[in-house]
Amino acid sequence: MVNTKVTLSGLELDNPIIPASGTFGFGYEFAEIYDINILGSISCKGTTKDARFGNPTPRIAECTNGMINSVGLQNPGVDKVINEELKKLSKVYSKPVIANVSGFSIDEYAYTCEKIDKAPEVGIIEVNVSCPNVHNGGMSFGTSAESAAAVTKAVKAVTSKPVYIKLSPNVTDIVSIAKACEDAGADGISLINTLLGMRIDLKTRKPVIKNKMGGFSGPAIFPVALRMVYQVYEAVSIPIIGMGGVSDARDVIEMMLAGASAVQVGAANLVDPLACKTMIDQLPDVMAQYGIDNLKDIIGGGH
């Protein structure tokens, strides 16, 4: 019998598979399709201090082996997330969740994280300094080691739960940014968020996305994500949640060999709502096929 359990900052997960923020709503919608308690955890939809409608439409574009989105952090704001969305989720999901938080200033990050830190449903706070779809916020904090460290330090000062910083791949040196977050007190790193991409409509000769550019995700970015997880694992001693183009249980194993302690699944959920369930079902067979008895044993095994 194989052991699929993994640990993130003292939090034991039944398996390493976690739906990524923004691709699974607040989770309870999927409870109508299958028992979501089989999931390792859920990274909830990105939450900001105030409610956001998001970016103008169209904000989705299809690509070969992927998609571009520019949703722009649409969410009801932190108070409603705590008092309504997490409460709804707790009726159908009994495990601690990952609260994904974004902001437009260091003060906003700190304010929102301090509030959500008190929510009993939350086990880990994932601080998104990497959203490419908003102006004057999100990714602008994650493309500089100093800014990412400043956000980390501010959030750690007002929270008691583990803080994972979600990093952008749209940089030349991901390692120095991850190291800066670790030095500033981060408990873990999540990577990668989406790459910046665009499409142009041949008929109108204008960008398909109203916002012109958006986050490129899907199977096409998996090798980039894998490379960055591999590099960061060699530089930090805190856990990594790997993500980016994960499409099946073999990708999960590969991401863990690169150094991920757990794996988030994003765009695959938008293609197939049962994607995470299928991966969890596949995992024991794939582990047996490759002679893996205990998933914890293979973390970083590709180094």
Q: How high is the pLDDT of residue 132?
A: 58
Contacts of 228 by beta carbon, 8 Å cutoff, 6+ apart? 169, 174, 191, 192, 244
Instruction: Write down the residue that tokens 């959500």 correspond to.
Output: 116
Instruction: State the average pLDDT for the chain.
Output: 95
State the average pLDDT over residues 275-302.
98
Catalytic annotation, pick one of 44, 131, 181, 276: 131
pLDDT reading at 200 higher than 90: yes
DSSP class per residue in 84-125: IIHHHHHTT--S-EEEEE--SSHHHHHHHHHHHHT-TTEEEE
* C-beta of residue 165 within 8 angstroms of C-beta of residue 147: no
Superfamily classification of domain 6-48+72-196+216-298: Aldolase class I (3.20.20.70)
Where along the chain do its domains lie? 6-48+72-196+216-298
Instruction: Give the pLDDT of residue 295.
Output: 98
Across the range 256-279, mean pLDDT stands at 97
Q: Is the peptide bond before 58 cis (omega within 30 degrees of 0)?
A: yes
**pLDDT tens, 134-188?**
555 555 677 889 999 999 999 999 999 999 999 999 999 999 999 999 999 999 9
pLDDT, residue 140, reads 66
Report pLDDT digits (tens) over 201-210: 999 999 999 9
Q: Where are the alpha helices (DSSP H) in the chain?
A: 78-80, 86-90, 106-117, 139-142, 145-156, 174-183, 222-235, 249-258, 267-271, 275-289
| Confidence (pLDDT) at 142 | 78
Closest Cα to residue 69, out of 207, 197, 166? 197
Mean pLDDT value of segment 223-246: 98
Q: Mark whether 44 is an active-site residue.
A: no
The answer on pLDDT for 131 being more than 90 is no
Enter the pTM of the model: 0.96
How far is 108 from 85, CA to CA, in rounded Å?
20
